[in-house]
Homo-oligomer: A and B are copies of this chain.
Amino acid sequence: MQQALQAARTALYVTSPNPRVGCVIVIDNTVVATGATQPAGGAHAEVMALRAARQAGYSLAQATVYVTLEPCSHYGRTPPCVQALIQARPKAVVIAMADPNPQVAGQGIAALKQAGIEVLVGIEQEAAFELNIGFVARMVRGRPWLWLKTASSLDGQTALTSGQSKWITGPEARQDGQHFRARSCLVLTGIGTCLADNPLLNVRDIPTSRQPIRAVVDSQLRISPDAALFNGDPVWVFTTQSNAQLAAQLADKNAQLITLPATPDGQVDLVYLMHWLGKQQINEVHTEAGAQLNGALWQAGQVDAILSYIAPVVLGPGRPLMYLDPLPDLAHARRMEMVETQLVGADVRIQMRHAQHWQQLYTQIQIEEQ
């Protein structure tokens, strides 16, 4: 299963909106074939591995198939993998986690068992879940999994009072962050960051065959059609306003103006936005924004995880991670759960997650013993 997870990881940047899946076929304790999900519309991991085994001339009667996600049982863009497995008739199928997709949800497992194939579920379940947490989030709650990326000093400043923020963290940390951009479906920022830094927000410095969609929350529509963001690749601009002329200008640059409901204070309704993104098959959102959008996402309860880079420097007065209302008491603080910490170049990387959000999703992939 470790090798199947490794195969799934090779597909981390390419399969969206499909889950990243790896498959390994073992005969007599020897790996005879591996497969990983191809870009959406292409073959799934199981089909890739079965094909490879067949081409190499193996009979699968004594084979065990290890797959990181329950094989699909429905016709999507490709025929169901379960059907391919039943035709191949391996001795056993070992599955890391059940598929939370309501169109699958245990039916793939049931179909394999019914065909007389031995099935074992739940091996390396947590690692498989982490690989597809965004896919599970979209399936289970209709909203993507949202990462907030921050880069700050030890005292939590993301910029000086002048706005200068280049650079607090070092080149290794910035490149490390590119891997998190690359695995996302959508890179999200706010209009403040756009106006101040004019960022491109694409994946650079690391190889990827797919670029995430880039998006900006711009409630009052202050963006310029000349922003660097509009480089010809798709961009979504979320606003509460309408402006046909700007919409046409943006459309020329492959950017889409999307008018969404506003909160009472005239900002884009972020909860609505997240549901909207779920409907567009966005699994993972990677946010790189300023204190305004960060704070709004935090206060709206939409932050599922924080990816934080901390530089070994104390800056004093500057820009905070988030604009928040003062807390009346520490008992009201919303605590996350530390996941990992490590040195990255001259800086420290910390990952933390919203424990309840994580648990809510993880619970949904548990299937009843039958």
Give me the interface of A with B, judged by CB distance under 8 Å.
150, 152-157, 160-162, 164-168, 295, 298, 306, 308, 310-318, 320-330, 333-338, 340-343, 346-348, 350, 352
Contacts and interface: CB of A to CB of B under 8 A. Distances in A.
A311 B335 contact: yes
A326 B334 contact: no
Nearest to A337: B312
The 4 closest A-B pairs by CB, nearest first: A156-B156, A316-B324, A155-B156, A312-B336
Contact of A347 (B153, B165, B312, B338): B338
A346 B338 contact: yes
Nearest to A295: B316
Given A152-B155, A153-B156, A316-B326, 16 more contacts: A154-B156, A154-B321, A155-B321, A162-B328, A311-B335, A312-B335, A313-B333, A314-B334, A315-B324, A315-B330, A315-B333, A316-B322, A316-B327, A317-B324, A318-B327, A341-B341
Given A156-B154, A348-B350, A314 B298 contact: yes
Nearest to A164: B330
A320 B322 CA distance: 14
B326 A313 contact: no
A167 B331 CA distance: 9
A330 B311 CA distance: 12
A326 B150 CA distance: 21
A156 B322 CA distance: 11
A324 B168 CA distance: 17
Given A314-B321, A322-B316, A337-B346, A327 B160 contact: yes
B315 A327 contact: yes
Contacts of A335: 311-313, 346
A326 B333 contact: no
Q: Which of A156, A167, A314, A321 has the most CB of B within 10 A?
A: A314
